[in-house]
Every structure is written in structure tokens, then in C-alpha cells.
Amino acid sequence: MAGEVLQLRGVGVRREGATLLRDVTWTVNENERWVVVGPNGAGKTTLLQVAGALLHPTEGSVEILEEELGRTDVFELRPRIGVASSAVAEKVPTGETVLDLVLTGSYAILGRWQEEYESTDLARAIELLEALGCADLVKRRFSTLSEGERKRVQIARALMPDPELLLLDEPAAGLDLGGREDLVRRLGILADDPAAPTTVMVTHHVEEVPEGFTHALLLRKGQVVASGKVDEVFTPEHLTECFGVPLSIDRQNGRWYARAAY
Ligand SMILES: Nc1ncnc2c1ncn2[C@@H]1O[C@H](COP(=O)(O)OP(=O)(O)OP(=O)(O)O)[C@@H](O)[C@H]1O
Ligand SMILES: [Mg+2]
């Protein structure tokens, strides 16, 4: 169906007797910007792996970019999806340069596999690194970067193939206050760009949700607590249920702030 980027119906994921996701039904339409929020262990990364065609669910059906998981060649599907997560970062070979890591994002692979790239690819890689404020890192080895620098490089890599779907798993985790605010601002600019891909970002903190994000899904213990338009989902009731502590939430100049409500 036109406009649907993700369609999950009754998705469950079980591993070694544990239920990681239970009965998740979720639709993401073209050009929406989603944030997935929930406590540690809620199943956010698992959900993103399903959305990225990296994990097949135990039950339910998944359509990604109008291809049904299980009936499509995931190796053709994966290059259409940009993924930035620490799970990818951990697999980067030692010695890999920032430039090579971003360039290989075009092929959804790790490790440089051919010596020559098109000069247009090279120009795009540098342009993306510039847009994320890290063009000066281009010749560095990825393994020598700080946490914040790594996050930005990973986002540049995820954007490299001009994906139709962009998945970001905790892009602001490990960043200092200035770095977080800078990244949130850059993600806000991306969210406002109509040419930018449909985006799903995972975070623990509503303070990290950039302006321009349109929808939210709250997860707790593998189940959806609420999902829909961000201002309808981000209520004290939903957040309290999601995190299991009494919470209040405010919005100021397009940004969200949550506090314990004791
Ligand atoms: N192979 C496995 N076997 C059993 N349990 C697993 C397995 N893989 C993950 N889990 C559990 O599934 C739950 C969901 O994991 P997931 O990584 O999706 O959570 P998360 O919401 O991303 O958490 P965090 O905020 O800490 O990143 C966790 O409790 C985790 O321990
Ligand atoms: Mg996670």
C-alpha cells in the first residue's frame, strides 16, 4: 500500500524462553519521524532490529518498504535501510578509517572491499560528515574516536546509501551536554528536511527528542504502552505506565522535559 514504510502486525520475538516483544502492531508511514521510548530492556533495540530486517520475528508479520519479511531477499532490502547502532559500531574492523566506514555504508557492509570509489560517493561521504559536524575526522581510525564522534560518524554512514528508512538506536547516548544539544539540533534539521528518509529513533530520554519528530511509540516489557502522534502519546499517564514511576512532562519551544512527580 502506498505510503507505508513499516507495517508490523502481531509481532512477537522470543529468545531462549524470554519474551522480547509481544503482540506489537505498528504502522510507520512515509515521511513520519518516530521516536521509540522505554526503559532498559523494554525491547527497543529488538524492535529496531526487526524494522531493519536484521531479525526475523517468532510470530506475526512484518512489511518493510512494501516487502514482506520471509518472502523477500533481505540482502536486497537492507541497503535501502540506514541503521546506526552500537551493535554495528562493535563490528567495525580495527584500523577502519572514518572515510571507509562511511563509504561502505553504501553497500550495507563493513570492511573496505574495493580500492576505488566513484568520486560522487567520495563527495557525498564528505558532505554528510560535514552536515554532522565531523568533516575533520575523515582520515582518523574509527576505533580511536570518542563516543560522541562515533555517534556522528555512524549517522553519516547510515545516511550514505540515501536510505528510504533511517533507524537510529540511542544516537545521543554517551554524549556530553553540548554534544547532545548539537546532535539533537542536527537531527531536528534532518527531521524538517522533506527529502530526508522516514526516521525511527530510539531513546531513553524525552529531552533527546528533536523538534519536528511527529510520532512516538512507548514500550514496556516488550509491549506497546501507547503509540501515535507525539503530543498525544507524551502524557504523564503514558510515561508513568511506561517507566513504572510517577512522571510529569512539559513541552517548551518544541522540546520535551520529563520529571519525577513525587
Ligand atoms: N538472546 C536473548 N535471550 C534472552 N533474552 C534476551 C536475548 N537478547 C535480548 N534479551 C533480553 O531482551 C530484553 C530486550 O532487549 P533489548 O536490547 O531490545 O532492550 P532495549 O529496550 O533496547 O534496552 P536498552 O534500553 O537497555 O538498550 C532485555 O531484557 C534483554 O536482556
Ligand atoms: Mg537498546
Q: Give the percent of the chain with pLDDT over 90.
A: 82
pLDDT tens for each residue of 15-64? 999 999 999 999 999 999 999 999 999 999 999 999 999 999 999 999 99
Helix (H) / strand (E) containing 49: helix 44-51
Widest distance between CA atoms in the chain: 60
Pocket test for ligand 1, best of 21, 24, 45 (most atoms within 8 A of CB): 45
Spatial distance between the Cα atoms of 135 and 132, rounded to a whole number of angstroms:
8
- CB contact set of 38 (below 8 Å; sequence gap of 6+): 44, 204, 218, 219, 220, 225, 242, 243
The pTM score is 0.94
What lines the ligand 1 site, CB under 6 Å?
15-16, 18, 20, 38, 40-46, 204
Ligand 1 atom with minimal separation from the 20 CA:
12
**Given this model, what pLDDT does residue 73 score?**
94
Let me know how many helices (H) and strands (E) the chain has, helices first.
9, 12
- Best CA proximity match to 200, nearest among 216, 211, 184, 183: 216
Domain that holds residue 52: 4-260
Q: What is the pLDDT of residues 95-132, one digit of tens each?
A: 899 999 999 887 655 555 555 667 888 999 999 999 99
* Residue 165 CA to ligand 2 centre (angstroms): 19
Q: What single letter denotes the amino acid at residue 220?
A: R
Centre of ligand 2 from the C-alpha of residue 103, in Å: 26
Question: Using the 8-state DSSP alphabet, how is residue 159 labeled?
Answer: H
CATH no. for residue 114? 3.40.50.300
User: How far is it, in rounded angstroms, from Cα 187 to Cα 246?
Assistant: 29
Residue 86 CA, ligand 1 centroid: distance in Å: 14
Domain count, the chain: 1
Assess contact for 249 and 234: CB atoms under 8 A. yes
Nearest to 36 by CA among 53, 51, 55: 51
Q: Which residues surround ligand 2, an ion (CB under 5 A)?
A: 44-45
